[in-house]
Structure 1
Amino acid sequence: MLDQMWFQQIIAAYYVFVDTVLVTQFLWYGVVHRVKELEKRLEGVTMGGNSNSDDEDDSITSDSNADLKQKRADEGAAVARSKMPSVAHTTFVTVSMLGTLAGALPVSGGVPALGDVSGGWLSDELIEAIGMTVGWISTLLYLCSRLPQLILNAKRKSTEGLSIALFMAAFSGNLFYSGSLLLNPLGWRDYEPYGGGGVAGPEGSNAMEWWSRTLPFFFGAFGVLTMDAAVGLQFKLWGPGSEKSQIEEEEREGLLTAREAGYGSLESSS
């Protein structure tokens, strides 16, 4: 809708594909799979409890057995519910993915082609205004995308479960992406039709107009660089190999050693 460069549209389509896969995994493993686990757990309790049920004392009455089964079922349901993502969280992720999909579909031929498809009732100015609105909304969501992870890492003082390679790749990608926009010749001078050896295209190019359409994507990529750097700092402070990680490992080894020593003393005394 804003007639951006072809590689930007390809990257957007690729991101939508990857995010769709991730959201599908989130819904499957976070909701559907957990519901199935809960159903199996409740079915096991209803069908007669665990393998130790035969060893229970014969004095336990059928009523007390029913109470015990119901208690186990309630506990299992509570645990499963606590591990399931909230409906609001799931809805937000799904709506965000669908909104990104709607805003990132590549448009062949740019704004005129989209105007032709609409039958002429959408003017080029309106299409560009819609594109700018969606672009800035996308930028805002992208800038906020790192905040939940940064806050979670800070709360637990750990980066466990995160891949440093992912954030290094994201940092490098945003750096080169914003750099490519910053160094684009269309943003530095005005061109006549097919000016700059054909860089400008048949309608020419105005640097101010080019930047007005490109700023949302530049700020989105450049702004996230600082947050990716913050995640890198958290890896330095709390990730594998950090001082905190080494201290925790030493404490864990000390506890294991003390436990083994305790077991050894009990065996010798017996």
Structure 2
Amino acid sequence: LKGYISIMFWFIAQFPQIIQNYRNQSVQSLSPVFLLNWILGDSANLIGSILTKQLPTQIYLATYFVIIDIALSVQYIYYKRKAIHSRITVSENASLLRYNSSSNSIKSSESVSKILAVIPFLTKASAMPLNSQEPDSLVQLGVAISWICSVLYLSSRIPQIYRNWKRQSVQGLSISMFIFAALGNLTYTISILLKTKSTEAFYNSLPFLIGRYINLIFMISGGTLLFDFSIFMQSTFY
């Protein structure tokens, strides 16, 4: 039951941000590094879940994470390009110096867009069967990928916190996304712990618990929950 509750929280978690982006016709509030970390982390999460033969609920949820990340990426690329074209139209009659500055901005944004656009293809390639590997080797590879996923999740909030601080604003950022994510973390971690019966299975699940679900484990000692709390505090002060 707790697994399905977590699915409900995660199913709606990122929709507030997608809606917010649509209403604002802008993604200015989102850190591209934050978004990129999520894409890479969710991709590693999906691959690791499959290779280590995690619970079906976990694999389904990991697949959904990747799909929703792709949706956010498409939004980011679309609105970023739209903003660039708008700036070009406004500054058509500006000086050559200003034109060069705009050109540099275009190149920078296009670079980010290209990075985000290639992620789905990298994910697909990485998820292809490795026929030359033994089953045990695949499991070990999955565990290794899962630990990489943990590092990405652990550091994902930092770029967004920095962007909020630099802008001195959280306008355009949906705080509901972080609230639902925290609730999803909590209920999903509980569901994994309740269904994990062997030491080996727990070891294979550990990277996922320490990664996306680290909020529960470090709830007492602080840890990454501090990052979520920092965003909540930023929303209060800014």
Q: Distance in 2 between matches of 1:146 and 1:26?
A: 17
Deviation, 1:129, is: 1.8
Aligned positions, number: 179
Map of 2:234 onto structure 1? 234
Judging changes above 3 Å, is the alpha-carbon distance between structure 1 residues 142 and 99 closer, same or farther for their aligned structure 2 residues?
farther
With over 3 angstroms needed to count, the CA separation of the structure-2 counterparts of 1:235 and 1:83, relative to structure 1, is farther
Aligned CA RMSD, in angstroms, stands at 3.0
Partner Cα separation in structure 2 for residue 137 and residue 99 of structure 1: 15
TM superposition shift of 1:183: 2.5
- Shift of the 100–172 alpha-carbon distance from structure 1 to 2, 3 Å rule, reads farther
Structure showing greater relative contact order (alpha-carbon pairs closer than 8 Å, 6 or more residues apart): 2
User: How far off its partner does 1:37 sit?
Assistant: 3.8
Report the Cα distance in structure 1 between the residues aligned to 2:136 and 2:152, rounded to whole angstroms: 24
CA distance in 1, matches of 2:181, 2:231: 11
Q: Distance in 1 between matches of 2:117 and 2:140?
A: 25
Partner of 1:123: 134
CA distance in 1, matches of 2:188, 2:195: 11
Report which stretch shifted further, 150-159 or 11-20.
Answer: 150-159
Give the Cα separation in 2 of the matches to 1:213 and 1:21. 29
Structure 2: which 5+ residue stretches go unaligned?
1-50, 216-223
5 Å-filtered alignment, 1:164-183, equals 164-183=175-194
Larger Rg: 1
Distance 1:217 1:159 in 2: 29
Shift of 1:138: 1.6
Contact 1:19 1:97 in 2 (8 A): no
For 1:174 and 1:101, locate their aligned partners in 2 and report how far apart those are by CA, in whole Å: 25
C-alpha distance in structure 1 between counterparts of 2:177 and 2:156, whole Å: 14
Amino acid at match of 2:79: Y
Provide structure 1 residue ranges, at least 5 long, that are not aligned to the other structure: 46-68, 108-113, 187-206, 239-270
Q: Which residue of structure 2 lines up, in the alignment, with residue 141 of structure 1?
A: 152
Shift of 1:4: 0.5
Q: Which moved more, 1:33-42 or 1:170-179?
A: 33-42
Q: TM-score normalized by structure 2?
A: 0.62
Measure, in 2, the Cα distance between the counterparts of 1:34 and 1:233. 29
SS across alignment from 2:53: coil
SS of structure 1 residue aligned to 2:133: coil
Once the two structures are TM-superposed, the CA of residue 17 in structure 1 deviates from its matched residue by 0.8
Q: Match for residue 159 of structure 1?
A: 170
Identity of aligned residues (%): 27
Structure 2 residue aligned with 1:217: 208
TM-score, normalised by the number of residues in structure 1: 0.56
Q: Is the Cα contact below 8 Å between 2:196 and 2:202 reproduced in 1?
A: no
Q: 1:214 corresponds to which letter in structure 2? A: S
